[in-house]
Amino acid sequence: MPKVSADHLQARRRQILDGARLSFARHGYEGATVRVLEEEIGLSRGAIFHHFPDKDALFLALAVDDAEAMLETVAQHGLVQVMREMVAAPDAGRLGTQLEIARRLRTDPEFRIAWAPKLAELADAVRARLRRQRDAGLLREGVDIDQLANYLELIMEGLIAHLAAGQPADRLGGVLDLVELSVRGQ
Amino acid sequence: MPKVSADHLQARRRQILDGARLSFARHGYEGATVRVLEEEIGLSRGAIFHHFPDKDALFLALAVDDAEAMLETVAQHGLVQVMREMVAAPDAGRLGTQLEIARRLRTDPEFRIAWAPKLAELADAVRARLRRQRDAGLLREGVDIDQLANYLELIMEGLIAHLAAGQPADRLGGVLDLVELSVRGQ
């Protein structure tokens, strides 16, 4: 494929995924009708579904995309930074995707099996980051890595539930500061 | 009313509420059909609805009951103890009621208004307990009471979401130990 076409294709896919992410964040997965998708993406349904076979494929592409981005953020800055980004932009961020993932994990055994490797990757990344922090002397002592990881994961679940219920995000920055201090043992 | 009758009435109401709590915990509010209620309570629908006009009244009586019990636990032992009790018996405890309250707060504006005083009472109790702990020198320094309360409330939301998703409770005891240490600044 000529480079210009490949770039164009890439940009078009990006445009579609960005619009779809906004749609899911603002309307939920069910509420993101084809009409909503057309409006948020700025393309016709024909153009959208030329690139992705259906809404489910759009969701899965976003879920994989977000999982990759989260893995990178976790590796570089830790899980608290992922939460800070969700708090900073609950509307435009990964909340819609995360909620739909959580719903499918609860209700769809096939998805649960298909998604297990991604969850394991993320869990591993969180633990690897904590181990690096510990080796650098930046973690509280006397608590094991799994316990700290479970602690952070529980707070992430609380954060998603809190934002999903439409509750205010303004006090969560201070809460995450406290989480960070507690992980460091300060 | 003669004392024996009053005691009997009280015991009967207790039996109904205990069975209803189990029903909601095991089947969810929607899933707790009249048939399920009859089985878990061990009384006929006639006997049950002689004491409570309908399923909604049962739920509200339980919600008030649980709110009172939570207030008492918070005042004496703090919000972490409420969470420990939920973790110890996710199946038999307040999870069903808490989930239904959370759902109604999201979706039912009338309930939101009616329930606001209870939420405020609980929020006040959490803060009053934290202030007593601070005055006794048992809290971390440099963090304000609201920030600590918001922190505990976010973890409570995470706990409810975690248990509601049917995820294992076995690692949460260690997580709550860490929460307790972090509140104390240890």
| Distance, CA of A63 to CA of A21 (rounded, Å) | 9
Question: To 10 degrees, the CA torsion angle through B74, B77, B82, B88?
Answer: -170
Provide the token pair at B163: 């248990």
Distance (Å, rounded) from C-alpha B47 to C-alpha A164? 40
Give the CA dihedral B145, B95, B28, A105, nearest 10 degrees: 80
Please check the confidence at residue B35 and state whether its pLDDT lies above 70: yes
Distance CA A170, CA B86 (A): 28
Instruction: Please tell me the pTM assigned to this model.
Output: 0.88
Smallest Cβ–Cβ distance between B182 and the set A166, A172, A182 belongs to: A182
The pLDDT assigned to A1 comes to: 60
Write the CB contacts of A123 (distance below 8 Å, at least 6 apart in sequence): A149, A153
pLDDT, one tens digit per residue, over B7-34 is 999 999 999 999 999 898 888 888 999 9
Phi and psi based region of residue B78 (left: phi greater than 0; alpha: psi -120 to 50; beta: remaining)? left
- Model confidence at B89, pLDDT cuts 50, 70, 90, reads confident
Nearest beta carbon to residue B147 from set A154, A160, A178: A178
Instruction: Give the model's pLDDT for residue A164.
Output: 81
Q: What is the pLDDT of residue A13?
A: 94
**Residues 84 through 113 of chain B touching chain A, CB cutoff 8 Å:** 102, 105-106
Choose among B106, B147, B159: nearest Cβ to A165. B106
Sign of CA dihedral B14, B164, B33, B71: positive
Read off the pLDDT of residues A49-75 as tens digits, 9 standing for 90 and up.
999 999 999 999 999 999 999 999 999
* Nearest by CB: A175 against B106, B154, B174: B154
Task: Give the residue from B79, B20, B76, B87 showing the smallest Cα distance to B52.
Answer: B20
Q: Which residue bears the tokens 């110890």?
A: B88
H or E element at residue B30: helix B3-31
Rounded to whole angstroms, how far apart are CA atoms A28 and A96? 6
pLDDT at A173 over 90: yes
> Which value does ipTM take for this structure?
0.86
Positive/negative CA dihedral, A104, A109, A111, A116: positive
Residue B2 has pLDDT above 70, yes or no: no
Q: How far is CA A83 from the centre of its chain?
A: 9
Residue B148 predicted with pLDDT over 80: yes
Dihedral sign, CA of B161, B164, B169, B173?
positive
A55 vs A115: CA distance, rounded Å: 18
Interchain proximity A151–B178, CB inside 8 Å: yes
A150 contacts in chain B (CB < 8 Å) = 171-172, 174-175
Identify the H or E element spanning A87.
Answer: helix A79-88
Tell me which of A99, A154, A167 to substitute to probe the interface with B (most B C-beta atoms closer than 10 Å). Answer: A154
Looking at per-residue pLDDT, the higher value among B158 and A89 belongs to: B158
Q: What is the pLDDT of residues B99-121, one digit of tens each?
A: 889 889 888 999 999 999 999 99
Instruction: Check if A127 contacts B (Cβ < 8 Å).
Output: no
**Share of residues in chain B with pLDDT > 70 (%):** 97
Distance from CA of B32 to the nearest CA of A (A): 19
The pLDDT value given to residue A96: 82
- Disruptive mutation site among A101, A178, A181, A183 for chain B (greatest number of B CBs within 10 Å): A178
